[in-house]
Amino acid sequence: MGEDGRGPHSFDDRLQAARRRQGLDAAPETASGGAARTNPSAMLIGLRAGFELVTAVAVGVAIGWWLDHWLHTTPALMSLFVLLGGAAGVLNVWRLVRPGGEFWGRTNEQADREDGGPADKGSGSGE
């Protein structure tokens, strides 16, 4: 090792390798010429999760309001569909942010198969 600290395993080399492993440096180019997929920012995930929740509740309110006016059952069906919309929104957010979910490069079907979820169920033969 020389006086400047530049050897085969210098601090700079190890730091650069650690930054690449943690994804802190720019993504390397892939074989197809495009940038490799990186993890999204926390702000992007937060915005998408908020949008999913608000949209699901808004759709539930709209469906409930329309059914209440059509069937003259104010406010019973709107209350029901607000709860259903909220539940659908929470489910969508869970699918979005769960480890290995959509933002981490796997489809929901892939995540279910690998995690032993619904896509991994057998034919029900009792084995």
Condensed to tens digits (0 to 9), the pLDDT of residues 58-71 reads 999 999 999 999 99
Q: Which residue has the higher pLDDT, 54 or 111?
A: 54
Q: 25 in a domain, yes or no?
A: yes
pLDDT digits 0-9 by tens, 87-99: 999 999 998 888 7
Q: 3 in a domain, yes or no?
A: no
pLDDT at 84: 97
pLDDT at 104: 65
Q: Are 55 and 85 in contact (CB under 8 A)?
A: no
Domain that holds residue 32: 9-38
- CA-to-CA dists, residue 53 to 99, 110, 117, 120, 125, angstroms: 19, 23, 23, 28, 38
Q: 31 in a domain, yes or no?
A: yes
One-character DSSP codes across 51-92: HHHHHHHHHHHHHHHHHHHHHT-TTHHHHHHHHHHHHHHHHH
Write down the mean pLDDT value for the chain.
Answer: 77
The number of folded domains in the chain is: 2
The pLDDT-based confidence of 127 (bands split at 50, 70, 90) is very low
pLDDT at 27: 52
Q: 107 in a domain, yes or no?
A: yes
Q: Are residues 55 and 108 in the same domain?
A: yes
Q: Give the predicted TM-score (pTM) of the model.
A: 0.53
Q: Are residues 29 and 82 in the same domain?
A: no
